[in-house]
C-alpha cells in the first residue's frame, strides 16, 4: 500500500470526487483481485514493470488456470510460471498463443509482449557442477524474462579451480553473479573473492548423505569468509534470478 | 476420570445400590469401549457435546470400520474422520445415510444430527497462500462441525500486506483467528499485532529447501514477537479447529 | 492501524475538520511514540485495557528508563517489565511510587491504578516440577496483572499421577489451564485429556542432556495426542499469561 | 569370546590334546560360520538358549536364504526373521515345515521346537494408540518366541488416562513393561510412575509434522522425569522384546 | 494410585467405617505431602523399599531444605540427593547425623538406616574413559544406596579392546551391566555382544566438536546393533543406577 | 588474481622488461603481504576503493596490532576493525590520530582520509526491535565507512505494523534496504512486499528458547514468500553493510 | 593449475615460442574440455595415472553419454562411472568393447587398458554388517580399478567382536583399512585400536529410526576415541576407495 | 591383542614354560597398567614407536599426574599432553627435566629422547585464517613430535585464492596436506583439487551464527566434491597430526 496512493485517495475524498464508502471499497478491492482461493496482486507487477509470477507447486491445475485467466484479463504483461510440472504445462499451453516450457528449469513463460533489455551489463550464472543446472536455468530464465542479459558458466566447481580461473573475464565483467552449487557449496566464496560485484549464492540439494538436502551448501554460503555474498533458499533459482534483476535494475535507474 | 463421577459411584456404594465388584467393573469398563486394538472414549464427547473423532492415519480400514460401528452403536453424535484418504471414504460411505467427504481437507463427516451453532461470534481462518488451503479447510470444517460459524480469508500472506489490511473488518471481528501459513509463516505475528483476540498459529509444510518440512514456519510462530499467539503442530488443522471451538465455547458459557 | 480509525480520519478529512497533511501526519505519528531506538505502541494497550509491557532482555538500562518515562507520560496504565534482572529493578524502582519486583519470575510491576478483575472464572497454572516455578510465576503474575484470578497447582508432574488426579476440582474448574513443564513435558497432554477447557502448554528448559534446552518438552507438547492444546515458546511464561488473559476476556465480552 | 572358552583351549593345548595351529584355527573358525557376505554367530544363541535371529532389512533374498540354510544346518533352534516384507516370507516359507508370518509385525517365525516358558511372571506390552500396533506386536512376538508370557494392553494413551488407570492390575502385575508410543510419547513416564518394575520405552514414528519421524517421542522418553525407564531406538520393537526377555530371564536364574 | 488401595477404601466406605468425604479427602491428601512449591511422594519409596530421592538441580537451597525436613518427618528411610553442588551439601550437612557427600558424583547420601543388600548378584559399572567417572560414580553410588553390590570397571574403551577383554570375568558375571561412555559411545555395543545380561547404556557429554553435547554417544547407543541394550538420557547416571536396581530386584523377588 | 594482471605480467615477460623469476616472485608476493600468521590482501581494497577490513574476533591483540601496522604502511586507506572488544580498541587507539570506537556495534574506524559519498541514493537500515541495534549499527557504520548515506528505521517490527507503514517514504526511497530482525524475523518479508529495491535480510540471535540462537529468524528469512530478499549470516551486520555498499556502488558505475 | 605448468608457459612466452594470446588461450582451454553443461578435467587423471571418473547421479543419460564420448576421445585411460543406475549402464554399454557393471556397487567400469598394481601392500575393506555391502563394494571396486589389491572382510561388526578378532592377520597386514558401518558405526574405533595403519571410516545410511539417515554412524566415527581415523561422507564408498588409493600410492613413490 | 602375541603365549604354554594361570594373568595385566581410574596402554606406543599420549581435558590434575608417573616408569618414550590448560602445565612442569608448553596449541611435550625424522617428505599444515592457528598448531606439533617435518601455510583461505595459488610449490610438494578451516571450510576442497596427495580436513569452530560451532565447516568438508579428502572431528588438530604421521610413516616402510 504505497503512501502516495493513499494521499491521492485522501485528496479525492477531500475534494468530494470520491465518497468515503468508495474509498473504503478502494482500499479493499483495488490493489488485488480476489478469486477466493487466491488474491492476485497485479499492483506490484504494474509498478516494477516485471512480469506476473505464479508459483505453481502446491496449487491444483484448476487453481493455476483460474489465476492465469485473471492475469490475462488484466493488461498484457508476460507471465512466468515456476515449479511447473510437465502436466501443468500441458494443461495451460492452449491458454495463450506463445507459451514456452523450459523443462529442465520447470518454468513456463507466457510471452505476451517482447522482452526488453533495459541495462547495459549482464548477470552471470555459474554452477559448481552439471547436476546444478536445473536450479541455474530457473535463475537464468527468470532473469532473462525480467529483462536482463545472462551469461552462463556451468560446471566450474572449486575442485578444479582452473576451470573457474580461465573464465575470469566473464565472471568479473558481470554486474551481478549468481553462484549455484550443491555438495559443499564452496563456489560462492571463491567467486566472491575474485569479483567486485554482488554475489547471490544459491545452495542446491545436489549431493547425498551429510549434505542433508542442501543444508551443507546453505551453511557454507551463509558462513562465507568472503564479503559481498548474500544467500537464497536451497534450490531457489527463481529468487536468485529475481533478486539479480532487482539489483541490476539499479544500473538503469534514470531511463 | 471426573471426580464427580467417582463421588456418585461412592454414594451408590455407600447406600448399597452398587456392589463393590460392580463399582470396580464400572471403573474398568464404563468410560470407554474396548475393541482390543482400540479403546474408544465415548465419555469425552458426551461431556463436551462435541462430535466423536477418528484420526484415520495409521489405522487399517478394518480398524476404522470397527471403531465406527462401535461409535454408531452409542447414541447419535456426529462423527468426524480426519486424515482420511479417498479409499477410507469409499470403504465407509455406506455405513451411514449422510456422509460427506471434504477431499481437499481429507475429512469425512458423518452427519447424524443437525449441527447447532451455540455462539454469537465467528472463527476466522486465514492463510498465507493458496497452497495452505488443505490445512485451513481441515481447521474450518472441524470448527464448523463442532458448532461454530467460520469466515475464510485465504491467500493474505505478508508479502502483499495490503491484501490483509483491506480485510481488517473480517479479521478484527472474529472471536478467535486461526492463522495458517507455510514458508516463513510470518502471517501469525502480523495478524496478532492487528487483532485483540486469541490467535492460533498453524505452521504448514508448504515450501521447500530450508523450510525443512515446516520447521521454518513452526519456529517463526513460536518466536512471534506479538502477544496473543499460541501454536499448533505442523499441518495440524484439526487441532486448530478444535482448540478454536474450545475457546469460542467460553463465549457461550451460560446457555 | 484499525480500519475504524481510518474511517474516522476519512470523515474528518471529508467534512473539512482535518487537513490532508494533518491526516498524513496522523498516520505517521499518532499510533506510537518514537524514541529513535524504540517506537512505543500506546495504541494497543489503550484498546485492550491491558497494561503496557516492556520486554527488558537485550535493552540497555538507559533504553528501559527512556521507554518507562515515555510510558508514564501517557495516561496511568500499569506497566509490566518482563525478563528483568535485579539490576534493572534497582535502576527503575525509584521511578514510580508503587513498584514490585517478583524475583523468581524476573517481573517488575509498576502499579499505577488498582488491578480490576473483570471475569468470573479463573486461570489455573500447573507445573510438572518445582524447577518450573520461575516460568509458571511469570505466567501467573502476567495473568494477574492483566486482571485475572489465578490458581496455582505446582509440582504435579505425570511421574506421580495421583498428585494431579487428586486436584481435579481445581484443574477442571478453570476457564483456561496453563501447563508448564520441562524434561519430557507430558503434563500438557494428560491435563488436556482431563479438562474441557483450552490448555496452553509452556515447555521449559528445565532438564539436561537430551532435553536440548527445552526442545524435548516443546516437541512433546506440539505432538500432543490430546485435543485442546496450543503451545508457547520455551520458557515463555509471559506469552502464556497474556494468551490466557486474552482468552479469558472472551468470557467477559459484554461488560 | 568367552574367557572360559579360552581357558578350555589353553588346557587342551597344555595337555597336548590340541595343537597350536588347531587352537589358532579354532579361534578363527569356531565361533561363527563365514558365508562371505555374512558371518553367522551360532555361539550366542547356543549360550543363551534364545532363538537365532535374522534382521532381514537391507539383505537380498538370496542372502537371507543362505543365512537360513546355514542356521538350519546347525541344530534345531527356532529362528526369528524380523523386518521381513511379505516377499521375503514368500521366498522362505517352503524352507521349513512350520513357518508363521505375522504380517502386522513383519516377523517370520520358524518353529523347529516347542517354545518353553521358563518364568512365572509375564511381560506387559502397552501402546499409546492403535497405530503403534505394528511395533508393539514386533515386541510381543519377539518376547513370546524367546519364551515369555505376554499381556497386551493397547490404545491406553495419556490423553484418556482412565483407560490406563482402569487396567492397573495388568500393568502392575508384570515383571517388565514395554511402553510403545508415538506422537508425544508420554505413556512411558506415566506408566513408570505407576509400576515398580523396569519399563522399556519404545518411541514410534507414528505422527506427523514436528514429530520428526519419531524424534519427539524419543526425546520425551529419554527425558522422562519418572525413574525406572530405559529407552530403545525408534520403532525398535524387536529390541524391546529381546531386552525384556533378557531381564525376565533373571527371574528364572536358578532353574 | 494402586487399584488395590481403591478397593480397600471402597470396602471401608461400604461397611461404613469411612465417610464419603473422608474417602474423597484420602484420595486428595494421602499419597503425598504438599509444600506448595513441591508435592512429596512418600508413597513410592514406601512401596519399593527404596530411599527417598531429591533431584537438586533447579531447586533453591530453601526449597531443598524444606523438602528434606518433610522427608525426615516421615519415617527413617535413607535419602539420596542428586545433582547436588557443594554449596547444597554445605547447607544441609547439619540436618542429619550421618551425611556423606560424593563430590565427583555430586551426590549426597543421608544415611538414616543401614543399607541392606537383598540380592546375590552384582551390578557392573564400566566406562569408556577416565573423564566419564562422574557419571559412572553417580550410577554406582545410586545402585549401592538402593541396596546393590557394585563392581567398577573404568577406562575400558573400545580403542584398546584388550583392556575390556581381559576383564571378561567381571563383566560376564554381573546381573546387569551399566556401560557409560562419551565421544563415540561404542562401549555399550561391544559389551552387549559379550555378556548375556541386560546392558544399560549411558551416553555422556564427554568430548568436543561433533559430539554435540553427548548427542553422538546417545545416537550410537540407540542404534546399537547388539541386542540387549536400552538407553538412558545423556549424563543420567542416577537413572541408570535406579533402573539397574529395579532390574536386579527381580532376582530377589521372593524374600 | 585478475586475468588482466596476468596479461600485463606476460607482456612484461615477453618484451623482456621482467625476468621469469621475477614474474614468479611477483605471483608469489605482490598481491598480499605475509606476516606468517596472516596474509594481508591489500589488492582487493585497492581495486574497490573500499577501506581495509580486520575481523578481530579470534585474533590476539598482538596479531591485530601487527596487521594494523602492515596496513598503515601501505597507503592511507581507512581501516575498519569489526567484532572488536573494548580491550582491542584500547590496545590500538594510540596507533593512529583519528580512531573512533562504536561501542554498541563493536566497530573501530581508523579515519585516515575523508569518507566520500559517491552515490545519490541511500541505504535504509531497519530493525524489528530495540535489541537488534548492535547488529544494525554494525551494518550502518560499515555502509557509511564504505561511502554511503544511511537512514536508520529502528523498532518497526511486524507486531505493530503501523510503525512500519507510517515510514513507507523512508523505506521505499532507499536504493537498498537492510532488514535486521531476531525472534521470528518476519520484518524482511513484509518490507520486501512493500519496496521495489533489493532487501538484505540479517537474522539476529535476539530472542530465547526456540529461536535456537538465531536459527528461527534465519529460516524465516530464507523461506521468505516475498521476492527480492537475500540473506546474510546470523548477526552479520558487517556483511550486510558491505553487500549493500557493493550493490549501491552499481548506481555510481560511471564516475 | 600446477605452478610448473605456468613456468613452462612463461618460458615459452619469453623465448618467443608462444604468443601472449596463445598463452591466454592455453590458460583458458588446455586443462579441460568444455561441453557447455560440463567441463571435463582430463588434466588430473593424466597427472595421477588414475582413471577418469564420472559421478552419474543427477546427470541425464545424454549428458553422461556426451561426457563419455569426450573422455574416450582423449587417450585410452580406463573410465569409472559411479552411482550408476541400471538404465545408465544399459544406455552406455555399447559405447566401448569391455564394459563391466557391478550392480550391487552401482559402478560401471570401462576397461580400456589393463589395470596395473603398483604397490606391494593391499587395502582391507571391512563392514559391520551384510547390508553395508553396496557401499563397501563401491570402495573396493574403486580401489581395485585405481590399481590396488583389495582384501574384503565383511560382517565383522562389534556386536560379535570375535568375528573381528579372529581376522586380525588380514586386518593388521593391510596398508590402509576402510571400515564401513551403519547403525552405530562403532567398527572404525575398534579397528583403529587394533591396527597401526590409517583407517578410513565410511558411515552408511543402513539402519532406521534414530540413525537419521546415517548421522548416527557419522557422528560415532568423527568422535572416535581411537587415533588414526579419518572420515568420509555417509555412503561415500567411492571417496574411501579413492583416498585409500591415494594413500597407498605413497608406498610406491619411487617406481 | 595382537594375534602374534597370543601365538607366542600359546607356545610358551605348550612347551611348559608358562603356566595356564600365568597366561590368564598375562592376558589380563600385560598390555596395560591399571590405575583404577585409568588403564594405560603402553603396548600401542611400543609397537608404533610413537610417543605416549594423554588427552588432558576432563581429567583432574591428580589423575594426569598419576598417569604421567606411570608412563615415566615405563621406558623413556616422549610424552604428549593435549588439550592441556596452563594450570595443567604448571602442575606437571616439574615432573621431568625437559618439558615444553605450546600455549597457543595447548600442548605439553615431555622430551625424554631426541625426536627422529624417519621420512623424506613433509606434512603441510594450511589454514583458512588466522583464528584457525590454535588447531593448526596442535596438528603441527603433534606431527613433529611423532617424527615428521612440517611446513606451515597459514591464512590462505579461499576468499583470496591468489594467496593459496602463489604457494603451490609448498602445497604440492607435501606427502600429506592438513587443511584447517572454520566458517565455510572451503579450503579443503580447493586444496584437494590442486594436490595429488591425501588431504586431511579439519573443520574448526571459528566463526559465529550459522556456523553452529563448526558444523558448517564440518559438513562442507564431508561433502567435498574433490576426491582425496577425509575428515576429522571439529577442532581435532591432534587427530589430524596423528593420522598424517600414520600415513607418512607408510613412505618409510622398510627402515
Cell triple for residue H140?
Answer: 603441527
- Output the pLDDT for position G47: 63
Looking at residue E9, its pLDDT comes to 66
Q: What is the pLDDT of residue F3?
A: 37
Residue of G nearest to E160 (CA): G193
pLDDT of residue D188: 95
Give bridge partners of residue G229 from the DSSP assignment. Answer: G199
Q: What is the pLDDT of residue H198?
A: 97
Cα dihedral G3→G8→G14→G20 (10° resolution): -80
Cα–Cα distance measured from residue D166 to residue A162, given in angstroms and rounded to the nearest whole number: 74
Q: Which chains touch D (3 or more CB pairs under 8 A)?
A: B, C, E, G, H
Residue located via cell numbers 577442532? H235
Contact C123, C143 (CB under 8 A): yes
Q: What pLDDT is stored for residue H28 in this prediction?
A: 46
pLDDT for F49 beyond 90? no
pLDDT digit string, tens, across residues D141-152: 999 999 999 999
C-alpha cell at C198: 483450552
CB spacing of A39 vs B154 below 8 angstroms = yes
Record: contact A20-C6, CB cut-off 8 A? no
Question: pLDDT-based confidence at H26, cuts 50/70/90?
Answer: low
Residues of D in contact with H23 (CB under 8 A): 10
Residue C104 and residue C201 share a domain: no
Query: What is this model's ipTM?
Result: 0.88
Sign of CA dihedral B94, B96, B98, B99: negative
Interface contact G209-D43, CB threshold 8 A: no
CATH number (domain holding residue E171) = 3.40.50.1970
**How many domains in chain E?**
2
8 Å CB contact of G14 and F11: no
Smallest CA–CA distance, residue G28 to chain F, in Å, is: 10
Integer CA distances (angstroms), H61 to D28, E26, E183, in order: 43, 55, 21
Taking the C-alpha atoms of residue F31 and residue F26, their distance in angstroms, rounded to an integer, is 8
Beta-strand runs (E) in A64-111? 79-82, 99-102, 107-110
| Burial of E59 from C-beta contacts in 10 A (0-12 / 13-18 / 19+) | buried
CB contact under 8 A, H154 and F37: yes
Q: Give how far C173 is from chain B: nearest CA, Å.
A: 11
Contact E1 C161 (CB under 8 A): yes
Task: Tell me if D27 sits within 8 A of G163, measured CB to CB.
Answer: no
Q: Which of B64, B89, B110 is the last residue of a domain?
A: B110
Which residue has 550408476 as its cell numbers?
G84
Asked whether residue E99 falls in the same domain as residue E172, the answer is no
Do residues C128 and C235 both lie within one domain?
Answer: yes
Which of A3, A7, A23 lies closest to C10 in CB terms? A23
pTM of the model: 0.90
Q: In what order do the strands lie in the sheet with E52-55?
A: E52-55, E79-82, E107-110, E99-102
Low-confidence ranges of chain B (pLDDT < 70): 1-10, 20-32, 42-47, 253-255
When CB atoms are compared, the residue of D7, D10, D24 closest to H7 is: D24
The residue out of A76, A110, A144 marking a domain boundary is A110
User: F216 is written with which cell numbers?
Assistant: 528461527
Among chain D residues, CA nearest to B237: D209
> Does one domain contain both D60 and D167?
no
**Lowest-pLDDT range of A20-29, D99-108, D190-199:** A20-29
* Positions of E strands within G30-184: 33-34, 39-40, 52-55, 79-82, 99-102, 107-110, 122-127, 149-153, 176-181
Cross-chain CB nearest to C47 (options B168, B196, B239): B196
Q: Is residue E26 included in any domain, yes or no?
A: yes
What contacts C136, CB < 8 A, 6 or more positions away?
C125, C126, C127, C152, C154, C178, C180, C202, C237
CB A157 within 8 A of CB A187: yes
Residue E115 lies in a domain: no
List the single residue in D with minimal CA-CA distance to G182.
D58
- pLDDT over threshold 60, residue F112: yes
Q: Is residue B222 part of a domain?
A: yes
Q: Which one, of B185, B210, B213, B212, lies nearest residue B200 by Cα?
A: B185
* Rounded alpha-carbon distances, angstroms, from residue E56 to B149, C164, D190: 50, 22, 22
Give yes or no: residues B86 and B155 share one domain: no
Q: How many Cβ atoms sit within 10 Å of the Cβ of residue G125?
A: 33
Is residue E128 situated within a structural domain?
yes
- Domain enclosing residue C95, as ranges: 3-110
Q: Is the pLDDT of residue F9 over 70?
A: no
**What mean pLDDT is reported for chain E?**
87
Helices (H), ranges, chain C: 3-14, 20-29, 42-48, 61-72, 86-92, 133-145, 161-165, 168-172, 187-194, 215-222, 237-249
Choose one of C66, C82, C110: the last residue of a domain. C110
Where residue G84 falls (left for φ over 0; alpha for ψ -120 to 50; beta otherwise) is beta
Nearest chain C residue to D220 by CA: give it. Answer: C184
Say if C116 falls within a structural domain: no
pLDDT computed for residue D78 by the predictor: 93
Contacts (Cβ under 8 Å, ≥6 apart) of E88 = E56, E61, E64, E81, E108
The answer to whether residue H86 is domain-embedded is yes
Name, in order, each residue with C-beta under 8 angstroms of E123's C-beta and a sequence gap of 6 or more: E143, E148, E149, E150, E151, E174, E175, E176, E177, E178, E241, E244, E245, E248
pLDDT at position D3 over 70: no
**C-alpha torsion A144→A145→A146→A151, nearest 10:** 0
pLDDT > 90 fraction of chain G, expressed in percent and rounded = 64
Nearest CB among A3, A53, A200 relative to F230 is that of A200
Where does the pLDDT of residue E131 fall: very low under 50, low under 70, confident under 90, or very high at 90 and above?
very high
% of chain H surpassing 90 pLDDT: 64
> What is the Cα gyration radius of chain E?
21
pLDDT category at E21 given cuts 50, 70, 90 is low
Question: Grid coordinates standing for B247?
Answer: 475457546
Q: Measure the CA–CA gap between E71 and F106, rounded to whole angstroms.
A: 53
**How far apart (Å, rounded) are the C-alpha atoms in residues F201 and F225?**
13
The alpha-carbon gap from C225 to the nearest alpha carbon of chain A, in Å, equals: 27
Residue C72 cell numbers, joined: 508514564
Does pLDDT of H46 surpass 80?
no
Beta-sheet strands, E only, within chain D: 33-34, 39-40, 52-55, 79-82, 99-102, 107-110, 122-127, 149-153, 176-181, 199-203, 229-231
G180 and G84 in a single domain? The answer is no
H221 domain residue, yes or no: yes
Do the chains contact at H31 and E130, CB–CB below 8 Å? no
Which of A36-40, G26-30, G188-192 is predicted least confidently? G26-30
What pLDDT does residue E45 have? 65
Q: What is the pairing mode between strands C39-40 and C79-82?
A: unpaired
Interface mutation vs chain A, best among C14, C19, C21, C28, most A CBs within 10 Å: C14
Q: How is residue E23 written as a grid cell? A: 474417602
Question: Does one domain contain both H144 and H245?
Answer: yes
Query: What are the pLDDT digits (tens) for G65-111?
Result: 999 999 988 778 899 999 999 999 999 999 988 999 999 999 999 99
| A interface with G, Cβ–Cβ below 8 Å | 129-131, 133, 154-156, 160-163, 165-167, 206, 208-211
**Apex CA G111: angle with CA G105 and CA G116, to 5°?**
95
Q: Do C68 and C157 reside in the same domain of the chain?
A: no
Any idea what DSSP says for residue A65? H
Q: Inspect the structure and tell me whether chains D and A have 3 or more CB pairs less than 8 Å apart.
A: no
Question: Does some domain include residue E102?
Answer: yes
| CB-count exposure of residue B104 (10 Å: 0-12, 13-18, 19+) | middle
Looking at the structure, do residues G223 and G202 belong to the same domain, yes or no?
Answer: yes
pLDDT score at G17 = 81
Query: Are residues B132 and B80 part of one domain?
Result: no
Strand order in the sheet with D99-102: D52-55, D79-82, D107-110, D99-102
Which residue of chain E is at minimal alpha-carbon distance from D242? E228
Residues of chain B with C-beta less than 8 angstroms from the C-beta of C220:
none
% pLDDT > 70, chain D: 87
The pLDDT tens digits of the residues spanning H152-189 come to 999 999 888 888 887 888 998 999 999 999 998 999 99
C183 and C234 fall within a common domain? yes
Contact F181, F203 (CB under 8 A): yes
Residues B34 and B84 in one domain: yes
Kindly state the average pLDDT of the residues G187-206.
94
**Strand B199-203 with B176-181, pairing:** parallel
Nearest residue of D to residue H3, measured between CA atoms: D24
Supply the pLDDT for residue H30.
Answer: 45
pLDDT at G206 over 60: yes
What is the percentage of chain C residues whose pLDDT exceeds 90? 64
pLDDT in tens, E165-176: 878 889 989 999
Of E183, E222, E227, the CB nearest to G225: E183
Neighbours of chain E (3+ CB pairs under 8 A): B, C, D, G, H
- Alpha-carbon torsion angle H7, H12, H13, H17, nearest 10: -170
Least Cα separation, residue F192 to chain B (angstroms): 7
* Mean pLDDT to the nearest integer, A100-117: 94
pLDDT by residue for chain C (255 residues), tens only, comes to 333 455 566 677 778 787 766 665 555 444 567 788 888 776 666 667 788 899 999 999 999 999 999 998 877 889 999 999 999 999 999 998 899 999 999 999 999 999 988 788 999 999 999 999 999 999 999 999 999 999 999 999 988 888 888 788 899 899 999 999 999 899 999 999 889 999 999 999 999 999 999 999 999 999 998 999 999 999 999 999 999 999 999 987 454
pLDDT digits (tens, 9 = 90+) for G207-235: 999 999 999 999 999 999 899 999 999 99
Read off the pLDDT of each residue in D143-167 and give the average, rounded to a whole number.
Answer: 90
CA end-to-end span of chain H: 25
How far does the CA of residue B171 sit from the closest CA of chain A (Å)?
Answer: 13
Q: What pairs with residue C179 in β-bridges?
A: C126, C201
Angle D81-D87-D90 from CA coordinates, rounded to 5°: 80
Residues of D with CB below 8 A from B203's CB? 209
Q: How many contacts, defined by CB atoms under 8 Å, are there between B and F?
A: 118
pLDDT surpasses 90 at A22: no
Calculate how close chain F gets to G41, using CA atoms only, in Å: 21
Average pLDDT, stretch E203-218? 94
- Give the model's confidence band at D243: pLDDT under 50 very low, under 70 low, under 90 confident, else very high: very high
Amino acid at each position: 500500500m504505497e503512501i502516495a496512493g493513499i494521499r491521492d485517495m485522501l485528496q479525492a475524498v477531500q475534494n468530494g470526487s470520491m465518497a468515503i464508502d468508495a474509498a473504503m471499497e478502494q482500499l479493499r478491492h483495488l490493489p488485488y483481485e480476489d478469486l477466493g482461493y487466491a488474491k492476485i496482486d497485479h499492483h506490484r507487477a504494474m509498478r516494477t514493470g516485471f512480469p506476473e509470477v505464479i508459483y505453481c507447486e502446491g496449487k491444483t491445475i484448476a487453481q493455476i488456470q483460474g489465476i492465469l485467466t485473471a492475469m490475462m484479463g488484466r493488461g498484457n504483461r508476460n507471465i512466468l510460471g515456476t515449479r511447473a510440472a510437465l502436466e501443468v504445462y500441458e494443461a495451460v499451453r492452449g491458454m495463450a498463443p506463445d507459451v514456452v516450457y523450459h523443462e529442465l528449469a520447470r518454468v513456463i513463460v507466457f510471452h505476451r509482449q517482447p522482452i526488453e533489455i533495459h541495462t547495459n551489463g549482464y548477470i552471470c550464472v555459474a554452477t559448481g557442477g552439471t547436476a546444478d543446472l536445473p536450479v541455474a536455468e530457473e535463475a537464468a530464465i527468470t532473469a532473462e524474462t525480467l529483462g536482463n542479459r545472462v551469461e552462463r558458466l556451468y560446471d566450474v566447481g572449486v575442485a578444479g579451480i582452473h576451470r573457474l580461473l580461465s573464465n575470469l573475464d566473464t565472471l568479473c565483467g558481470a554486474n551481478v553473479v549468481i553462484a549455484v552449487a550443491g555438495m559443499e557449496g564452496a563456489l560462492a566464496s571463491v567467486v566472491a573473492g575474485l569479483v567486485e560485484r554482488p554475489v547471490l549464492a544459491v545452495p542446491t540439494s545436489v549431493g547425498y548423505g551429510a549434505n542433508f538436502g542442501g543444508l551443507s551448501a546453505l551453511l557454507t554460503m551463509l558462513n562465507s569468509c568472503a564479503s559481498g555474498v548474500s544467500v537464497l533458499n536451497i534450490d531457489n533459482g527463481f529468487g536468485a534470478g529475481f533478486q539479480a534483476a532487482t539489483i541490476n535494475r539499479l544500473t538503469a535507474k534514470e531511463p
